[in-house]
Structure 1
């Protein structure tokens, strides 16, 4: 018998995967996710600033950012609800297509609305677009994990997703600004809506996975040995109260930002909100459900508060409660049951892995322009054009490393590089003596002079090159690893919940970092954030050890089962 053909690695794997419909669809989905984010979070500010909109709009823009931070709150709907009329095109595709259609209409509405005379409607259309964009992200993340296989592994799909996302950042950022200098903002946003329409056509041809059978959750929860309905109801009530408090708190804050401000009163601040209430929202929406889910696993493992026979009740109330339990608690129960105490390592990994670039990214322009005194043209080229291409190189390297050296070595590299990048920026803040020495060693300073530039620009480009390449590798590693630990039974909820932690820690950290930059200076804060960022190396190492131990344990159990089977069926 011929031996099975070995799975290709490195560029051979990349080449093979890019021939598939899944990878082509992933590129389009990455573009469709990145474009609205770039248009709503960054480019929209340029439009509003150009037409002299007052500072009250900052509240609306802050609201737009919060939809991405708290998308996990409605992720159970995306995971469980079957869309009437659209469900036949696919489990995940139906949600992706719906969100893309809403974004097209919302961007068209923005294009047809004058923000100077109709800022209220303009804000509403922007929020609708951001809500649809964040919801699309939930569905796209779930799709990526669901369709991954040996030919197109999740690591490669994650790299392709990041590549499409960063391409969209150029289109929605630098290219949109380029167009806006030559045509009206309305035409620019209509053109961007056209790009999303192209992505919608690709989505219609993408493959998808089957939806679980209807009534499966009721059937599973009615089996003997499951948690009793009354206990499940108590657990569900605790989680619902915690989530309701979080949703009401966030909703109240959002409404207050849109409301008219009385003279002499301070406008609501997202930084203050995330600093004061953000940690409690994380506790309410993540840790409370996680503790409840772990408690349910503990009771079930010890045979306490469990049913002794099949539950034959099929009331509408019981069905609704089971569906809510399956949407809110079962995903975390599965995660904590499968990972055990390792779920705390995962949370530590998530909170620290993206810390460096999540916190300081909002302060990049003030650092370059006000502190280092680079011109706007220099910063635009270095950050928006040169920097994004460096990020794409990093993303490509991340995908290659995953295929070539494996998962954990790549994740570890992604943990080490960004904190080191903060040390590079600390050097830049102090005049760049080490960067200059490196540039001189490679004769890059002489090359810059020959090309009509100077060592100051070389200094900036080298710092941005290192940061963006390392960030590209780290982001690819982060998305791919997080995707690999998600259960396909609860894809949307688990991924949305865990990935949202990175947005929340970024928001919380930026509130603290802003004050620290003012009081301690850039170089000192860069070194502090690098030190905290290196904590991710510890969590990655702990997770590597835990994962290897789990794999060895599974191998021993499989070997034991095989031996038992051979002994019970001796060969004659």
Structure 2
């Protein structure tokens, strides 16, 4: 179980480097909002990881085992690329900064593929709950470390030093992975290309039927779209409103992450009694309505109490939505092909988070932050509306794993 926590931390450590810290660094060096918005495209590998997940499933590296070999290799690559950011600030070379951020996303997505498969295969059914909880604990701890501590460090020493420290942490984790962690009971790789690539996708459509499978995929893309738009521009908005990086780190990265965790726990409790469908509807509405808090902060200007309230409400509602969303994704997966199918579904989730939010900066330039925040509420409606047309499976096992 120690491996689950540490590798969960490693999984969460690079995530903010492709969005929030990049936004902050670019805003600090006065890069225009349109470019900051389009930087979300650097997270494209999270959306496309299903393309190379069969390769990670099919082949193994000659060290550490079938899954941990890929995990360790991705961690080593991440340490090198993150450390290289010391030499490529956004004002000195925006194209190099974007390319390195893209590489961080690629190796981070690759680590996630192998780590997710590792969790699925080494945990017994009776360990799933505890394993999932420890995985989330490690992941959220990393988000706190980068979202809070790194922002404070950047305020005093600069982002170049902050990235070097994160790279050093990743080196330590890679060494721990290679020396201390082992695999037991991991399955054999697929026998051929068809079993590795084609069968998981054909099984998904055959089991759900084309209509329900198609609606499910569209829903996954749009359910958190409004929330993703706000997240893409939130750091720049807070800095331009007058909040320092330390204040953003403490309130957004610190309190905000804890509020998200509280939302996940509360959402899980409601999910257990109300089921997936009702939870998706209620939490989707709350998730959309929480964006009004940013509009209120925009109208009020720099106000610490309102900023703290905005962080708590917005992140708690996002956590509620995440609890129901994860349970729904799990309910769609066949246990036999869970690694590849889950990679496909989370890739689609990343489409709205990393690709469709790219014009957010231009939207702000054209309409202003106030109208932008109101627009994000309207753009949350299609994802909620699709739920009423879908057949949602009330998978008790998926609910249990999401709650834990």
Candidates 208, 229, 237, aligned match of 1:339: 208
Candidates 211, 226, 233, aligned match of 1:363: 233
Structure 1 residue 408 displacement after superposition: 4.6
Please give the secondary structure, in 1, of the residue aligned with 2:146. Answer: helix
Distance in 1 (CA, whole Å) between partners of 2:267 and 2:157 is 38
Aligned to 2:251: 382
Aligned to 1:132: 107
| Structure 1 residues 68-126: Cα deviation after superposition (integer angstroms, max 9, x where no partner) | 2322222221122222x12xx44322221221122233334555x47699998877665
Aligned to 2:118: 143
Please give the secondary structure, in 2, of the residue aligned with 1:211. Answer: coil
Distance in 1 (CA, whole Å) between partners of 2:333 and 2:38 is 33
Does the aligned pair in 1 maintain the 2:263–2:315 contact within 8 Å? yes
Does the aligned pair in 2 maintain the 1:393–1:469 contact within 8 Å? yes
RMSD: 4.0
Does the aligned pair in 2 maintain the 1:38–1:172 contact within 8 Å? yes
The more displaced of 62-71 and 92-101 is 62-71
Does the aligned pair in 2 maintain the 1:76–1:492 contact within 8 Å? no
Whether 1:211 and 2:81 are equivalent positions in the alignment is no
Does the aligned pair in 2 maintain the 1:162–1:395 contact within 8 Å? no
Distance in 1 (CA, whole Å) between partners of 2:295 and 2:27 is 31
Structure 1 residue 411 displacement after superposition: 3.9
Please give the secondary structure, in 1, of the residue aligned with 2:393. Answer: helix
| Structure 1 residues 286-325: Cα deviation after superposition (integer angstroms, max 9, x where no partner) | xxxxxxxxxxxxxxxxxxxxxxxxxxxxxxxxxxxxx1x3
Whether 1:170 and 2:144 are equivalent positions in the alignment is yes
Structure 1 residue 132 displacement after superposition: 1.4
Structure 1 residue 333 displacement after superposition: 0.4
Please give the secondary structure, in 2, of the residue aligned with 1:342. Answer: helix
Structure 1 residue 362 displacement after superposition: 1.8
Distance in 2 (CA, whole Å) between partners of 1:77 and 1:61 is 27
Does the aligned pair in 2 maintain the 1:32–1:196 contact within 8 Å? yes
Aligned to 1:348: 218
Distance in 2 (CA, whole Å) between partners of 1:60 and 1:528 is 18
Aligned to 2:307: 460
Aligned to 1:95: 70
Distance in 2 (CA, whole Å) between partners of 1:61 and 1:490 is 33
Distance in 2 (CA, whole Å) between partners of 1:490 and 1:353 is 24
Distance in 1 (CA, whole Å) between partners of 2:269 and 2:232 is 29
Whether 1:33 and 2:11 are equivalent positions in the alignment is yes
Aligned to 2:153: 179
Please give the secondary structure, in 2, of the residue aligned with 1:395. Answer: helix
Distance in 2 (CA, whole Å) between partners of 1:378 and 1:507 is 25
Does the aligned pair in 1 maintain the 2:120–2:339 contact within 8 Å? no
| Structure 1 residues 174-200: Cα deviation after superposition (integer angstroms, max 9, x where no partner) | 312333455576654443234224434
Whether 1:547 and 2:393 are equivalent positions in the alignment is yes
Gaps of 5+ in 1: 1-20, 218-322, 433-453, 552-572
Per the alignment, do residues 493 and 51 of structure 1 end up closer, same or farther by CA in structure 2, a change over 3 Å counting?
same
Distance in 1 (CA, whole Å) between partners of 2:138 and 2:26 is 27
**Structure showing greater relative contact order (alpha-carbon pairs closer than 8 Å, 6 or more residues apart):** 2
Distance in 1 (CA, whole Å) between partners of 2:12 and 2:74 is 14
Distance in 2 (CA, whole Å) between partners of 1:369 and 1:107 is 23
| Structure 1 residues 440-486: Cα deviation after superposition (integer angstroms, max 9, x where no partner) | xxxxxxxxxxxxxx9x4333322221110111222233234313422
Distance in 2 (CA, whole Å) between partners of 1:513 and 1:114 is 24
Does the aligned pair in 1 maintain the 2:8–2:136 contact within 8 Å? yes
Per the alignment, do residues 198 and 475 of structure 1 end up closer, same or farther by CA in structure 2, a change over 3 Å counting?
farther
Structure with larger Rg: 1
Does the aligned pair in 2 maintain the 1:76–1:328 contact within 8 Å? yes
Structure 1 residue 417 displacement after superposition: 2.0
Please give the secondary structure, in 1, of the residue aligned with 2:43. Answer: helix
Please give the secondary structure, in 2, of the residue aligned with 1:466. Answer: helix
Does the aligned pair in 2 maintain the 1:142–1:495 contact within 8 Å? no
Candidates 305, 322, 330, aligned match of 2:199: 330
The more displaced of 506-515 and 327-336 is 506-515
Distance in 1 (CA, whole Å) between partners of 2:305 and 2:43 is 33
Please give the secondary structure, in 1, of the residue aligned with 2:336. Answer: helix
Distance in 2 (CA, whole Å) between partners of 1:333 and 1:31 is 33
Distance in 1 (CA, whole Å) between partners of 2:285 and 2:5 is 27
Gaps of 5+ in 2: 397-404
Per the alignment, do residues 412 and 147 of structure 1 end up closer, same or farther by CA in structure 2, a change over 3 Å counting?
farther
Aligned to 1:64: 42
Candidates 325, 335, 340, aligned match of 1:478: 325
Distance in 2 (CA, whole Å) between partners of 1:378 and 1:50 is 14
